[in-house]
Structure 1
Amino acid sequence: MDLKQIINLHLRGLSNRQIALTLGVNRNTVNHYLRSLQSSDQPMEALLQLDTDALEELFSSKTTINNDRYAVLMRFFETMHPQRHHPGFTLQYHYQLYAEQTQDSYSYTQFTTHYQRKYKQAKGSMKLEHKAGKELYVDFAGKKLEVVDPSTGEVSQVEVFVATLPFSQYTYVEACKSQKGRTLFNASIMHSASLEEYL
């Protein structure tokens, strides 16, 4: 079954019955394939852009095929997924690790699609009301930066302090030597002085 033909005919507005008649297959077969394709995280137009092999691989792994290659990928995800909240986590980095240790690896596009399908996240939103000047959000960014002393060339790691007024989105950022209480206090004082100039 050419999945691209099904997608093309579906996007042209043909019913499942018309697609089945056009391709000479059972209508239930078309129903089954379209249900699976429509349950993908990607829109039909995006699926159509994949090459035939990639499309069939994604489709088959979503339905009945449970081969060794797919099982290896799922085991890798099980060790990778708990690390998603660590600073610097990227799918690109973990794909490189996976590809280096796997003889018959998936492509990066297939890797990310399988991951997003396996770990679907509930999408939601909430509107929060803020009064001007009433709240201030402060935190240190998760990853340290490096600062180079132009006179000596010495490289030092610094923490990044961030303070934001949620109503105006006014933001203050400062590089600090540490996350100690005194450092946080001094950065907050500097933010207050900067805020007074802003107001």
Structure 2
Amino acid sequence: MINCRKIMELHLDGVSQRTISASTGHSRNTVSAVVQRAKSRGIQSLNDTMTNTWLNEFLFPEKQAMEKGYYPVDWEKVHKELQKKNVTLKLLHHEYATAAREGKKIPYVYRTFAEKYGNYAKKYKTTMPIRRKPGEIMEIDWAGSTLTIQDRATGEDIPAYLFIATLPYSQCSYVEAFLDMRSPNWLTAHIHALGACRRQWFLIT
């Protein structure tokens, strides 16, 4: 295994790649590959969670996959695809697994696929945890793509709009479709959501 952690520590301290090569026993090409891959992945500093194993998997996921006999994943492509409308990680895993089997390779199961993507995506996350109290607030909105329902009498497709309400502390959610987003349905949705979450609360307690 490449000593990525040591290479990056020396590089970030301003040590030349020639000296890093001599210190770690890795070729200058290997040192250069680690430094360039880290640069492209946005690593500008190290923290305690960036162990040598983590760095190897983060910087060279395709190599780790092939060494273990798995079909490699282009995580940057996965990340970009997830920015598109209606694209989910589940869908991308299905496409990946299909390509793997067509190529006579072993695909990662979804759980591993999701875990590895989560590790990769950490570099994009600049978040601050928000402390919530049980029952303090409810987050609500019209969300997702417009759906359609079919009129049984005429066969006509009628637009349907999704209302979603979530209690962020418990992640208890309520979803209901309406034929429009006007005030009467907006108010009705709130009443139904509050009733549903109240019943859920009684079931939990």
TM-score by length of 2: 0.48
* Larger CA Rg, structure 1 vs 2: 1
TM-score by length of 1: 0.49
